[in-house]
């Protein structure tokens, strides 16, 4: 059976638009190009070649030959240009360095007032043996929660001019000039009770300067330990722990009390026992 397929077009009805397909017949041994599909029908092979539709013709069919043109209003053009300009402006602004915020200009009277309070605090700490005081402790004592406040900054600037105290690594300390001009001559305690009172004030100051040591519970625990050890005798560490009410030696409060006593060289430990050092008993240990 012979077919004349040289001018036969096949329509693909499954797609949304008809796709013209060119069909050619070849005999066995015929050459097949890469872009042709082969359909076998007995002895003859039918080469099916899909032709790419002409975009212009397709558009014309879709519009029934009527040519359409998309127009953009002036308002849309202005909106697009505005967005583009805003984006370019924003990109440029982000690349530019932001100006640093300047400090508030503190009045000289206030700066000197805060400075004098800070000197008094440092002198009081020095008298009881604390030669270095944390910046945040001094700031809170003179009435400022933020150690970076403008008033504190201005007072430190005055201190540089007078040479009374310095600020290094987060602590304040009196200079030799400050000690000579502001610290009174040390008067030795008159009796054992006065000596212990002086050392207790030093421990309180030490505890208040620690970030984890602040609070009534810490001070109460320290006071109980102090009353136990002030007899000058050696006590079991378990007994010292029990009077504080803490459950274990690794409790934060108990660790802070023992740490403060050790740093001040107020206690000595050995064989799971602890006692006050001779430093706390300038008149000799109690009988």
Walk me through the domains of the chain, giving residue ranges and CATH numbers.
9-55 (no CATH), 108-182 (1.10.10.10), 192-280 (1.10.10.10)
Helix segments in 142-251, DSSP class H: 150-162, 176-182, 192-208, 216-229, 237-244
**Region of 4 on the Ramachandran plot (φ > 0 left; ψ -120 to 50 alpha; else beta):** beta
What is the dihedral sign for C-alpha 137, 139, 145, 146? negative
What's the first-to-final CA gap in the chain, in angstroms?
135
pLDDT at 94: 47
The mean pLDDT of the chain is 75
The sheet carrying 165-168 orders its strands as 133-134, 171-174, 165-168
User: Per the confidence metrics, is the pTM higher than 0.75?
Assistant: no
Weakly modelled stretches of the chain, pLDDT under 70: 1-104, 209-214
Enumerate residues 6+ apart whose C-beta is below 8 A from 156. Answer: 167
Q: What is the pLDDT of residue 207?
A: 85
- Residues of the chain with pLDDT > 70: what percent? 62
For 172-188, give one letter per residue: b (16+ CB within 10 A) or e.
bbbeeebbeeeeeeeee
pLDDT at residue 237 in the model: 94
What pLDDT sits at residue 80? Answer: 54
């Amino acid at each position: 059976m012979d077919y004349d397929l040289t001018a036969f077009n096949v329509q693909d009805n499954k797609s949304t638009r008809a796709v013209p397909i060119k069909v050619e017949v070849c005999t066995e041994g015929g050459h097949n190009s890469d872009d042709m599909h082969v359909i076998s029908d007995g002895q003859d092979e039918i080469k099916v070649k899909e032709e790419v539709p002409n975009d212009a013709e397709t558009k014309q069919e879709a519009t029934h030959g009527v040519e359409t043109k998309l127009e953009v209003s002036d308002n849309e053009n202005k909106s697009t240009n505005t967005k583009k300009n805003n984006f370019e402006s924003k990109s440029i602004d982000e690349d530019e360095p932001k100006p640093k915020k300047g400090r508030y200009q503190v009045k000289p009277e206030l700066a000197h007032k805060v400075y004098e309070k800070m000197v008094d605090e440092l002198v009081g700490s020095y008298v009881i043996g604390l030669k270095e005081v944390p910046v945040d402790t001094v700031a809170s004592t003179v009435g400022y929660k933020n150690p970076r406040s403008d008033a504190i900054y201005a007072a430190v600037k005055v201190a540089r001019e007078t040479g009374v105290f310095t600020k290094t690594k987060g602590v304040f300390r009196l200079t030799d000039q400050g000690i000579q001009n502001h610290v009174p001559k040390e008067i030795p305690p008159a009796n054992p009770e006065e000596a212990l009172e002086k050392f207790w004030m030093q421990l309180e100051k030490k505890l208040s300067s620690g970030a984890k040591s602040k609070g009534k519970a810490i001070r109460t625990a320290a006071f109980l330990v102090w009353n136990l050890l002030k007899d000058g005798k050696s006590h079991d560490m378990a007994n010292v722990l029990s009077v504080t009410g803490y459950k274990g030696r690794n409790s934060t409060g108990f660790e802070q009390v023992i740490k403060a006593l050790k740093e001040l060289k107020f206690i000595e430990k050995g064989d799971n026992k602890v006692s006050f050092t001779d430093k706390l008993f300038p008149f000799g240990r109690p009988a």
